[in-house]
Chains A and B, each alone.
Chain A
Amino acid sequence: MTFPSSPDSLLVIVPALNEEAAIGGVVAEIRQHVPGVPVLVIDDCSSDTTIAVARQAGAQVLPLPHHLGLGGCVQAGYKLAYELGFQYVIRVDGDGQHDARDIPRVFEKLKTTGCEMVIGSRFVADNGSRTGAVRSLGIRFFRLVLRPVLGKTVHDPTSGFVGVNRRALNVFRQSFPLEYPEIEALVVLQRRRFRFEEVPCKMRPRTTGRSTITALKSLYYVVHVLLGVFVNVLKFDRRLRRAQRERGAGG
């Protein structure tokens, strides 16, 4: 991948952990629907042939030296994209659940609205996407929690189909949650007065492998993410107050 030259250069990143069965199709589909856009698969130390399959399908691969978890993996992609000078980065999951045909719409929304983040959302319009019972309960719960924090409803806060611009990249390369990053990342952005939009997308059921969010882990997930939201709100409010004090003292 060379340094991008166009002012609205796009990179598609795909975090992957043991996705050898799906990753080839995912990469091929992305290349088909957004031709000419580089695809970067970030491999979180898979024990299968994910790396080889991704290269075979025409993706660039960033292999991590050891397992970092989804957030650390995505952040590595953001860091590299920022260093290479990309203006926009769209993250697509490596399990084939996201439809690459939606990528151009997310990209358009990023460019036309100028907002920092665009979420591919499975709930904005009723588009026939189906979700498990535990998952939808969790999503509904976090929608309630996030409403007052974000000042706006986010329909699909756990979506991994997320596009960001360079301003958000600059924030995320410095601070990004390590585990279950999606919801916390939203709070990180909101605290900096950044804007996000949602675009309705189709979400396919998993065809291979298993979701990392199993019913058993969901309690851990909920507590973990709630704490993350709480910590981020406190952290930024304190920083904001300090900045206001300093401004008050200076002026």
Chain B
Amino acid sequence: MDRLLNVTTGLSVILLVMVLISVRRAHIRVEYSVSWLLAAAAMLILSRAHSLLNAVRNLIGLPDSPLTLFLLAGGVFLIMFFRFSIIISHLRDDNIALAQRVAILEYHLQNLRSHENQEA
């Protein structure tokens, strides 16, 4: 059981470092890194503070601590993935409107050009 908690400690440290490096290299925008950092930090704290994890375990009523931790992490990531779907949907909407606008502007532009040519 302790070994499993050591594994999750390692995992959360790796996640933390990965996110920090990505932010520094501007691979991920700061506003999207915050939730990852919080999730990694929470996982790290829960894997180390056994009493805290036990309290949570008793609260939910699960047989052992690592299972509790995995369930918690799973739930958090599910919420985060859902948030990403929402963000992607917004991006898609904006992107469609933008593409349509570009097409229409190009159309107007070409008409203007051909008018100019006819007048010249």
Q: Please list the residues of chain A having a beta carbon within 8 angstroms of any beta carbon in chain B.
A: 1, 60, 62-66, 68, 72, 75-76, 79-80, 83, 178
The secondary structure that dominates the A interface is mixed
Smallest beta-carbon distance B93→chain A, Å: 9
Chain B contacts with A in 55-78, Cβ cutoff 8 A: none
Chain A residues positioned under 8 Å from B102 (CB to CB)? 65
Number of interface residues of B (CB under 8 A): 9
Q: Quick one: which of A1, A60, A76, A178 contacts B103, CB cutoff 8 A?
A: A76
Report which of B99, B106, B107, B111 forms a contact with A72, defined as CB distance below 8 A. B99
- When the two chains form their complex, are residues B103 and A64 in contact, meaning their CB atoms are under 8 A apart? yes
5 additional A-B residue pairs with CB within 8 Å, beyond A62-B104, A64-B103:
A64-B100, A65-B102, A66-B99, A72-B96, A75-B100
CB distance from A67 to the nearest CB of B (A): 9
Chain A residues with CB under 8 A of B103: 62-65, 76
Partner of B104 from A66, A72, A76, A178 at Cβ < 8 Å: A76
Known: A1-B111, A62-B107. A79 touches B100 (CB 8 A): yes
Which of A1, A65, A178 is most buried by chain B, counting CB atoms within 10 A of its CB? A65
Give 20 A-B contacts (CB < 8 Å), ordered by A residue: A1-B111, A60-B107, A62-B104, A62-B107, A63-B103, A63-B106, A64-B103, A65-B99, A65-B103, A68-B99, A72-B100, A75-B100, A76-B99, A76-B103, A76-B104, A79-B100, A79-B104, A80-B104, A80-B107, A83-B104
Distance (Å) between the CB of A74 and the closest chain B CB?
A: 10
**Cβ contacts under 8 Å, B104 to chain A:** 62, 76, 79-80, 83
CB contacts (< 8 Å) of A76 on chain B: these are 99-100, 103-104
In the bound complex, residues from chain B placing their C-beta under 8 Å from that of A64 are 99-100, 103
